[in-house]
């Protein structure tokens, strides 16, 4: 009979979560994100680009709120809201305009912080942030956030999910 408890993770798995992401994998992720940021700077904007940048902002903001960020969580909140407003404007007008300079500056800060986090923050925190993003996406897909305007009301900073109506 084994002396290891069944609820315990294998040692290799739990040790890997205590380390930052492997540099080659982090480089792949940040390259894709930086290319998206460059597209935004050149006004080559579509919903996929906005979604990707919003996901980066949500993940890195969640990690910053856990105490591992170098820029204030309020900055992430502001960028998230501006991106949500951009999506809302698209759904109302059917066209994307150029992103305003202050938003591009905020996105640049967020992407730089995300890059730093990829190389320094434990993988476990990225897994938790990814789970949080999955919860938000599930809420949005479930119809509880059925209209684009409802996306502005999705839970942030550990708040409870919006009540079902």
pLDDT per position as a tens digit, 53-108: 999 999 999 999 999 999 999 999 999 999 999 989 888 888 888 999 999 999 99
User: Does residue 45 lie in a domain region?
Assistant: yes
Residue 125 has pLDDT above 70, yes or no: yes
Give mean pLDDT, residues 47-58.
94
Q: What is the pTM of this model?
A: 0.75
**DSSP character at residue 32:** H
Residue 153 has pLDDT above 80, yes or no: no
Structural domain total, the chain:
1
Q: Which domain holds residue 68?
A: 22-153
In the chain, % of residues over pLDDT 90: 53
Spatial separation of the C-alpha atoms in residues 163 and 141, rounded to whole Å: 15
pLDDT of residue 144: 60
User: Does residue 50 lie in a domain region?
Assistant: yes
User: Does residue 17 lie in a domain region?
Assistant: no
User: Does residue 113 lie in a domain region?
Assistant: yes
User: Does residue 48 lie in a domain region?
Assistant: yes
pLDDT of residue 157: 43
User: Does residue 26 lie in a domain region?
Assistant: yes
pLDDT of residue 91: 86
Lowest mean per-residue pLDDT among 65-74, 98-107, 121-130, 154-163 = 154-163
Residue 149: C-alpha distances to residues 27, 68, 87, 92, 107 (Å): 34, 30, 9, 10, 21
């Amino acid at each position: 009979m084994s002396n290891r408890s069944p609820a315990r993770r294998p040692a290799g798995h739990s040790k890997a979560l205590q380390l930052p992401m492997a540099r080659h994998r982090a480089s792949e992720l940040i390259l894709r994100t930086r290319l998206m940021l460059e597209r935004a700077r050149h006004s080559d904007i579509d919903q996929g680009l906005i979604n990707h940048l919003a996901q980066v902002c949500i993940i890195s903001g969640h990690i910053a709120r856990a105490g591992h960020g170098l820029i204030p969580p309020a900055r992430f909140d502001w960028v998230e809201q501006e991106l949500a407003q951009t999506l809302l404007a698209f759904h109302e007008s059917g066209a994307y305009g150029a992103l305003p300079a202050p938003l591009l500056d905020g996105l640049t800060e967020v992407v730089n912080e995300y890059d730093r986090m990829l190389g320094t923050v434990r993988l476990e925190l990225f897994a938790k942030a990814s789970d949080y993003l999955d919860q938000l996406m599930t809420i949005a897909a479930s119809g509880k956030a059925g209209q684009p305007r409802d996306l502005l009301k999705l839970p942030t900073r550990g708040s409870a999910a919006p009540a079902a109506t």
